[in-house]
């Protein structure tokens, strides 16, 4: 599928050295998930599976509402449920978060990916997996600060939310946003979504959530999937949403400096051999050596 190789117009492309031809700057888009409007109905999950023709195996109940129990290659989004007794309000809160790819502006998956063009970032910010180029190594899983991609055991490809790039490409919003009964999920330009979020945050503050805010983490240069949270200061309450996500330093080391240092070390080692050989010449066995050996045998015999 080498026709899936064009690097033109893309903002970022995995495992591609050298600068991409400058993309025409397109309007960044974003999906805004207003957790304070979300009722955890899973319409997004069903709409996602329906649109993308995914049918996950039917699991058992294991004492929780998360079904499937985790993201899978066939479940690209998942409602995660957390119960928290808010000491300030004296009320139980059932914090429900739609988990899935955050479409980071600085995507760790893309950084980690070794297969050219298997992960791309369009100029509107959407991070997409191009299955035809994917080799199924799972590096994206390690690169992701949100633990999102999953590798299919059926075809050994990595899968995650595409932000419905197929729908967005024809001017429609993602299937989840379309379905969302309470409009907790909205989709539009990132600027519009930020404005809408500001409106929502003001409303939440009016209702006593003084720490309400927009989750658009700077550690990954912002995301194209954002959350309005009642408790922005306590992101981990929402089923372990990282407070300050960033690409793991280990991944940075691995795919950044490490990559060059490694190649350099190998180069230096090889160069040492060449230089040494030039200077020292071959280490040859001499005639005397052979004679000495013969002598030794004779003596020994």
Partner 1 sequence: MSQHRGEAPLQVPRYSGSARINHWVVAISFVLLMISGLALFHPSLYWLTGLFGGGPTARWLHPWLGVVLVIGFLGLFLRFFVANLPERTDWVWLARLRHVLAGREEYLPEVGKYNAGQKFVFWAQAFLVLVMFVTGIGLWPVGLAYFEQLLGFKATIDQRRLAAVIHAGAAVLTIAIWIIHVYAAIWVRGTISAMTRGTVTGGWAWRHHRKWLRKEIGKEPGGPQPAE
Partner 2 sequence: MTNSWTDIKNADVVLIMGGNAAEAHPCGFKWVTEAKHHNKARLIVVDPRFTRSASVSDFYCPIRAGTDTAYLLGVINYLITNDKIHREYVANYTDVSMIVKEGFSFDEQEGVFSGFNANNRTYNRDTWDYEIGADGFVVRDTTLEHPRSVYQLLKKHAARYTPEMVERVCGAPKDKFLKVCEMISSTANGEKSMTIMYALGWTQHSYGSQTIRTAGMLQLLLGNIGVPGGGVNALRGHSNVQGLTDIGLLSQSTPGYLGQPRDSEPTLAAHMANRNFRPMMQNSVSFWQNYKKFYVSLLKSMYGASATAENDFGYEWLPKLDKVYDTLQMFELVHQGQVNGFVCQGFNPLLSVPNKGKLIAGLSKLKFLVSIDPLETDTVKFWENHGEANPVDPSKIQTEVFMLPATCFAEDEGSFTNSSRTINWRWKAANGPGEARNDIAIMAELFLRIRELYEKQGGKAADPILKVDWSYANPKLPTADELMREINGKALVDIPDPADATKTLYKAGQQLATFGHLRDDGTTTSGCWIYTGAYTERGNMTARRDNSDPSGRYVYGNWGFAWPANRRILYNRASADPSGKPWSERKSYITWNGKAWGGADVPDYPPPLAPDRNAGPYIMNAEGVARLFARKMMNEGPFPEHYEPFESPVANALHPKMSSNPAARVFGGDRAAFGTSKDFPYVATTYRLTEHFHWWTKTNKLNAITQPEFFVEISPELAKEKNISNGQWVKVSSNRGSVKGKAVITKRIPALKIDGKTVHTVGMPIHYGFIGETKKAIGVNSLTPYVGDANTQTPEYKAFLVNIEPLSGPAVS
Partner 3 sequence: MNVQFSRRQFLKGTGAGVAGSAIGAFGFGGAEVALAQAAHAFKLSKATETRNTCPYCSVSCGMILYSRGDVKKGEKAEIFHIEGDVDNPVNRGTLCPKGAGALDFIHSKQRVTRPMHRKPGSDKFEPVTWDFAMERIAKLMKEDRDANFIEKTRDGVTVNRWPTMGFLAGCATSNEAGWLTWKAVRGLGIVAVDNQARI
The site for partner 3 (CB under 8 A) is made up of: 3-4, 6, 8-10, 23-24, 26-29, 41-43, 45-47, 49-51, 120, 122-126, 128-132, 162, 165-173, 175, 177-183, 186-189, 192-193, 196
Instruction: Considering the complex, state which of residue 106 and residue 203 has its C-beta at the smaller distance from partner 2.
Output: 203
What distance lies between CA 226 and its chain's CA centroid? 14
State the Cα–Cα distance between residues 65 and 106, nearest whole angstrom: 32
Interface with partner 1, residue 17, by CB under 8 A: yes
Measuring CA to CA, which residue among 1, 252, 44, 300 is closest to residue 135? 1
Interface with partner 1, residue 275, by CB under 8 A: no
Four-CA torsion 189, 193, 196, 201, nearest 10 degrees: -160
Take residue 296 and report the two structure tokens written for it: 């030794």
Which of 141, 166, 167, 203 is in the footprint of partner 1 by CB under 8 A? 141
Would you call 201 exposed, middle or buried from its count of C-beta atoms within 10 A (0-12, 13-18, 19+)?
Answer: buried
Binding segment toward partner 1, per CB under 8 A, in 15-23, 89-97, 181-189, 234-242: 15-23
What distance lies between CA 214 and its chain's CA centroid? 20
Instruction: Considering the complex, state which of residue 225 and residue 235 has its C-beta at the smaller distance from partner 3.
Output: 225
Interface with partner 1, residue 142, by CB under 8 A: yes
Give min distance, CB of 79 to partner 3, in A.
10
Interface with partner 1, residue 257, by CB under 8 A: no
Output the furthest CA–CA distance in the chain (Å, rounded). Answer: 103
Instruction: Considering the complex, state which of residue 40 and residue 145 has its C-beta at the smaller distance from partner 1.
Output: 145
Interface with partner 1, residue 265, by CB under 8 A: yes
Give min distance, CB of 67 to partner 3, in A.
11
Q: State how far the alpha carbon of 191 is from the alpha carbons of 170, 194, 197, in Å.
A: 20, 5, 10
């Amino acid at each position: 599928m080498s026709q899936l190789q064009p690097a033109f117009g893309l903002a970022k492309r995995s495992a591609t050295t050298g600068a991409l031809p400058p993309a025409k700057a397109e309007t960044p888009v974003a999906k805004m998930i207003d957790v304070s409007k979300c009722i955890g109905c899973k319409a997004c999950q069903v709409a996602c599976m329906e649109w993308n023709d995914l049918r996950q195996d039917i699991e058992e109940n294991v004492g929780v509402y998360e079904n499937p129990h985790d993201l899978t290659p066939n479940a690209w989004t998942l409602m995660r449920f957390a119960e928290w007794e808010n000491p300030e309000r004296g009320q139980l809160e059932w914090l429900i978060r739609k988990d899935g790819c955050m479409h980071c502006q600085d995507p760790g998956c893309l950084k980690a990916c070794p297969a050219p063009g298997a992960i791309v970032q369009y100029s509107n910010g959407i991070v997409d997996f191009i299955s035809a180029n994917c080799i199924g190594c799972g590096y994206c899983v390690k690169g992701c600060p949100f633990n999102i991609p999953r590798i299919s055991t059926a075809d050994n490809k990595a899968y995650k939310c595409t932000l419905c790039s197929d729908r967005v490409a024809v001017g429609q919003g993602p299937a989840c946003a379309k379905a969302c009964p309470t409009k907790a999920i909205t989709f539009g330009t990132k600027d519009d979504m930020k404005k809408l979020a500001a409106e929502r945050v003001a409303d939440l503050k009016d209702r006593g959530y003084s720490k309400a805010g927009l989750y658009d983490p700077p550690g990954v240069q912002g995301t194209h999937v954002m959350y309005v949270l009642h408790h922005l200061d306590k992101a981990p309450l929402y089923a372990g949403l990282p407070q300050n996500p960033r690409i793991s330093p280990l991944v940075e080391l691995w795919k950044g400096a490490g990559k060059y240092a490694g190649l350099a070390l190998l180069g230096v080692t090889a160069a040492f051999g060449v230089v040494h050989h030039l200077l020292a010449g071959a280490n040859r066995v001499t005639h005397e050596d052979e004679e000495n050996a013969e002598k030794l045998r004779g003596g020994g015999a």
